[in-house]
Structure 1
Amino acid sequence: MPTAYLEHVNFTVEDPAATAKHLETWFGWKVRWKGPSKDNGTTYHVGNATSYIALYTKGDPAGQTQDSYDTRGAMNHLAIVVDDLDQTEEKILADGFKTHNHGDYEPGRRFYFHDDNGVEFEIVSYAD
């Protein structure tokens, strides 16, 4: 039976290079590819050998006008599993982002934050 897995998600961001740098710092990921894309835009693929986040801009992306939780089909948050939750939170705080909604319940511990593009991340650890 075939196994399915998520290869990538694609976000429109203001500055793909800056967002890619954050993802490299916070999660140890690498830029797998970068280059021109649709509508004279630029895309960065940031991740590991099996999955990545595509960061796209066409130079002047429209701002978010609605809360994603109120928009059918919108993304609400992106969850990233890390080995060391506290160390990852320290990196995110050091970059000037505020974390919230800390939870310590089965399974795992977690917190949330919004990046400078308005994307909400859930950072979770299942380590003991």
Structure 2
Amino acid sequence: MHIKHRLTPPYTPQCNPLERANRVLKTMIAQNIKKSQKTWDLYLPELQFVFNTAPSTSTGFTPAYLNCGREFHVPESLAHETALASNRKHQHRIESIQAALELAQNVIASNFQKQQGHYNLRRRKWAPEIGEKVL
């Protein structure tokens, strides 16, 4: 599966993408609880569905498609799907996932370049002179 375990520095939530996902989820819960704060957990399945089917601005794809290779359907339409699929469909799905992942990596790289350009607009090049006091 080529899964790489990556560690983040302790006490630095900005390095952990899961913290950003948690922030979005907390906002979604806060907007949906309305008056009763005791029933927030009843909304979790719907919020999870919304979160997994919303396209990411970084990749251009939904998390459902990048992780599962297909878009999720509304729960009522799941009963109409067939459970069996042919090997060709599986092979086509694998190839489309690989193409989508490659495209997502390219989109992330181009977005990184854009963000780097915005960041570098305010940056000044500085190098200390010999004998200059620095903090």
Check whether TM > 0.5. Answer: no
More strand by share: 1
Q: Whose Rg is larger?
A: 2
More helix by share: 2
Give the structure-1-normalised TM-score: 0.22
